[in-house]
Amino acid sequence: MCRRMTSASWILLCFCLLNAVSAQPAKRPVEALLRPSNAVFYHVPVGLCEDYPEETTTLEGIRKDFEFLKKSGISLLRISFGWDAIEEKKDRYNWLFWDDFVKMAVDEYRITLIPYVCYVPRWNSTGASDTTYFWNYPPVDYDEFGQFMKDLVTRYRDRIHSWELWNEPDIWVYWQGTAEAFSRLVKAGSRAVREADPGALIVLGGLAYKPEFLLELFRDHGVSPLVDVVNIHNYYETWHRYPVEKLSDHIQEIHEIVSQYGNGQSIWMAEVGYSTYRQGGWVSDSYQPYFDYEHTPDYQAVDLFKRLAIALSTERLAAIAWYELKDLPSGEKVIGDINNRNLGVAFADHSPKPAQKAIMFFNELFSQKVRCIDGSVTVSRAIGSDSEVHCFEKEDGGVIVTAWLRTRVFGQRENDFSGDAADLRKEKIRIELPGKYTGPAVVHQAADDERGRFPIKHKKGVSILENLELAGGKIAILEISK
């Protein structure tokens, strides 16, 4: 039997439904930073990193940073909370700077903060007598770190929803302890975060470059169940001799460790960069340039686009953050060498480098969910070609093609580090894409400088880019409509 509802019943039902919907917890911004294991198409958010030493940072400077982010269309920012600065004396916290910072970032500018927490205060450091590096020794009392994390998360849990435990613990510069000692720190910190905010993401301190450190943490020290995200860093061709194209191998190695010993964690690359510093034929103790354009502001924009395209092509990453927003002033202290002062997409005075336009264009071009289609694309090139090609299909059916000539190739120019060679290389390649695309392709460079149109040929259900010319030190970016 059907009973007709009265008006009062309808009102009551609507009220109940409305309350049921409003009672659902709001989605936290960081939920978009977890990659579903079954994702075919996925959007990788790309943000920036910046550090804020309390003793030298002003609210005026912070606001300039936030305005720069707003102008650049970026709302994801990795920052650091210094345990040593906030709790310089045991049980005495100084929150004043961070209260203002967090409120401005989240409430006013709608920035998603993904902070890491690090540095042991002298009063709890096993290396307290070390006048320079007391902050990177294991703590005397790990529970003190847990207590600090609990108080920190409790204070900001309404505005911050992910917490990264430490920074680059796989190198001595940031951790003068063993992997086992670090696992104790993670256990204390993870337990505290879970108590203070059960829904927050816990991120393993970003690894500089050693997958074996992650392997030991997961396989031997029981860290995997304690973290939701594994973070890795990359500075190939700045602080590492490897070509940037080796990045895909590194990401895959991390993925395999997570697959075998982990609990399905997402992977971030929430610190990646390329400096604009060089002194003749010297960049760092790990990398010497060959071509005259390397480590210049113009080429940083090209490298940024290359590096992000390679990262996306692996289909392993959930989020990326480029290091960093702006260069450091000449008088500000840095850990490491002078490259640390020259990694920004802007100069110290916030005037943009070409890389700022490159990251904006990348985020615009890849604003949709995409999937890598390298496996179904055929590239014809000369034997011994230096070309690198990565292709992506967008959810709307369009295609993005990225192609370039590798700047550094193992086995070539190994003993010439003059750094002043002109790159006169040119190659033509042929790309076959499955399916029929309307064309012509729109051709761009890294900073969205449109360079015209490229014709598309069709043959038996295949779209062909014939004689696409690549030049050394440049990147070809083609946007093709379905």
Say yes or no to pLDDT of 417 above 80: no
Q: In which band, very low, low, confident or very high, does the pLDDT at 18 lie, cut at 50, 70 and 90?
A: very low
Say yes or no to pLDDT of 348 above 60: yes
**What tokens were used for 254?**
């991390």
Say yes or no to pLDDT of 7 above 70: no
Q: In which band, very low, low, confident or very high, does the pLDDT at 415 lie, cut at 50, 70 and 90?
A: low
Bond before 180 cis per omega within 30 degrees:
no
Share of the chain above pLDDT 70, in %: 93
The mean pLDDT of the chain is: 92
Q: With beta carbons less than 8 A apart as the criterion, state whether 49 and 80 touch.
A: no
- Residue 184, helix vs strand vs coil: helix
How does pLDDT run across 350-403, given as a tens digit for each residue?
999 999 999 999 999 999 999 999 999 999 999 999 999 999 999 999 999 999
pLDDT-wise least confident of 24-38, 178-192, 428-442: 24-38
Say yes or no to pLDDT of 175 above 60: yes
Say yes or no to pLDDT of 16 above 70: no
Specify the residue for token string 């435990």.
165
Tell me what pLDDT residue 54 has. 82
Q: With beta carbons less than 8 A apart as the criterion, state whether 216 and 175 touch.
A: no
List the end-to-end C-alpha distance of the chain, in Å, as a whole number: 53
> Among candidates 10, 94, 35, which has minimal Cα distance to 369?
35
Over residues 65-83, mean pLDDT: 98
Q: With beta carbons less than 8 A apart as the criterion, state whether 333 and 343 touch.
A: no
Segment holding 296, helix H or strand E: none
Does the model's pTM come out above 0.95?
Answer: no
Tell me what pLDDT residue 85 has. 95
Q: With beta carbons less than 8 A apart as the criterion, state whether 57 and 81 touch.
A: no
Phi, psi of 19 (to 5 degrees): -70, -35
C-alpha 422 chain-centroid distance: 31
Write the CB contacts of 36 (distance below 8 Å, at least 6 apart in sequence): 42
Say yes or no to pLDDT of 21 above 60: no
Tell me what pLDDT residue 26 has. 58
CA–CA dist 183, 274 (Å, integer) = 30
**Complete domains list, the chain, with CATH:** 29-369 (3.20.20.80), 374-480 (2.60.40)
Q: Is the dihedral of CA 359, 362, 364, 370 positive or negative?
A: negative
Specify the residue for token string 């500089």.
208
Taking CA 345 as the corner, what is the angle to CA 389 and CA 135, rounded to the nearest 5 degrees?
110
- Residue 165, helix vs strand vs coil: strand
The residues pairing with 213 across neighbouring beta strands, listed in sequence order, are: none
Measured torsion, CA atoms of residues 316, 321, 327, 332, in degrees rounded to the nearest 10: -100
Tell me what pLDDT residue 439 has. 81
**What tokens were used for 80?**
């650091």
CB burial class (10 A; 0-12, 13-18, 19+) of residue 69?
buried
Q: Are strands 462-471 and 426-434 parallel, antiparallel or unpaired?
A: antiparallel
Residue type, 214: L
Say yes or no to pLDDT of 25 above 60: no
> Among candidates 98, 95, 190, which has minimal Cα distance to 142?
190
Tell me what pLDDT residue 2 has. 39
Q: In which band, very low, low, confident or very high, does the pLDDT at 176 lie, cut at 50, 70 and 90?
A: very high
The residues pairing with 323 across neighbouring beta strands, listed in sequence order, are: 49
Say yes or no to pLDDT of 457 above 50: yes
How does pLDDT run across 92-127, given as a tens digit for each residue?
999 999 999 999 999 999 999 999 999 999 999 999
CB burial class (10 A; 0-12, 13-18, 19+) of residue 225?
exposed
- DSSP result, 82-130: EHHHHTSBTTB---HHHHHHHHIIIIIT--EE--EEE---GGGBTTTT-
Specify the residue for token string 């690090």.
118
179-196 and 211-220 helices, crossing angle to 10°: 70
Q: In which band, very low, low, confident or very high, does the pLDDT at 414 lie, cut at 50, 70 and 90?
A: low
How does pLDDT run across 193-252, given as a tens digit for each residue?
999 999 999 999 999 999 999 999 999 999 999 999 999 999 999 999 999 999 999 999
Please tell me what DSSP assigns to residue 226: G
